[in-house]
């Protein structure tokens, strides 16, 4: 049916397939972007740079590439906004009164939920996650042994 999502399992990242010994299920045309991702963009504030650096430090080595800079920047901003909403909710009620006196949900809950969703989706969008990269094929990509890029020479 048009517009419906596939409810099957998400593909496993290539490096997990290799660890499990499932070499027959590898995408031999999976793209491998160039250039390691290191420096945070100058536009980020100190907290956002900390989130960026945390992601760089804790991501699997070689996973994040320059191509991922915009995605990681959005993730870092969303993480900081999420953290701010968490802190605000710890010191304020979740239900507040509107100007008319009706009880309403705190705006911080909406911010928290929105940023959590953004952070989660960014790991899957545009090849940001290893599982997403494993689904992509490039016709003219030739790689004789798909494990070489993980284990080197």
| pLDDT for the residue numbered 147 | 55
Bridge partner list, 96: 104
User: In the predicted model, what is the mean pLDDT of the chain?
Assistant: 79
- Residue 151 to residues 15, 19, 33, 145, 146, Cα–Cα distance (Å): 10, 11, 17, 10, 10
| pLDDT for the residue numbered 94 | 92
**pTM, to two decimals:** 0.66
Alpha-carbon span 21 to 115, nearest angstrom: 36
Q: Where along the chain do its domains lie?
A: 14-151
- Over residues 30-86, the pLDDT tens digits come to 777 788 888 999 999 999 999 999 888 877 667 778 888 999 999 999 999 999 999
Task: Say whether pLDDT at 13 is over 80.
Answer: no
| pLDDT for the residue numbered 138 | 47
- Over residues 74-104, the pLDDT tens digits come to 999 999 999 999 999 999 999 999 999 999 9
pLDDT band at 142 (very low <50, low <70, confident <90, very high): very low
Neighbouring CB atoms inside 10 A of 64's CB total 21
| pLDDT for the residue numbered 126 | 42
Q: Name which of 8-12, 21-25, 138-142 the model is least confident about.
A: 138-142
| pLDDT for the residue numbered 127 | 47
Q: What integer is the mean pLDDT of 121-148? A: 58
Please answer whether residues 37 and 68 qualify as being in contact, where contact means their C-beta atoms are separated by less than 8 angstroms.
yes
Please answer whether residues 85 and 113 qualify as being in contact, where contact means their C-beta atoms are separated by less than 8 angstroms.
no
């Amino acid at each position: 049916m048009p517009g419906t999502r596939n409810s099957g399992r998400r593909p496993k990242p290539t490096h997990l397939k290799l660890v499990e010994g499932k070499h027959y299920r590898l995408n031999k045309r999976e793209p491998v972007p160039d250039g390691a991702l290191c420096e945070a963009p100058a536009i980020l504030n100190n907290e956002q740079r900390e989130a960026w650096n945390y992601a760089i430090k804790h991501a699997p080595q070689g996973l994040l590439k320059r191509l991922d800079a915009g995605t990681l920047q959005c993730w870092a901003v969303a993480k900081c906004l999420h953290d701010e909403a968490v802190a605000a909710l710890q010191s304020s009620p979740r239900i507040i009164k509107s100007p008319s006196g009706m009880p309403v949900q705190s705006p911080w809950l909406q911010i928290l939920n929105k940023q959590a969703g953004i952070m989660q989706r960014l790991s899957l969008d545009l090849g940001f996650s290893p599982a997403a990269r494993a689904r992509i094929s490039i016709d003219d990509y030739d790689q004789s042994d798909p494990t070489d890029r993980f284990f080197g020479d």
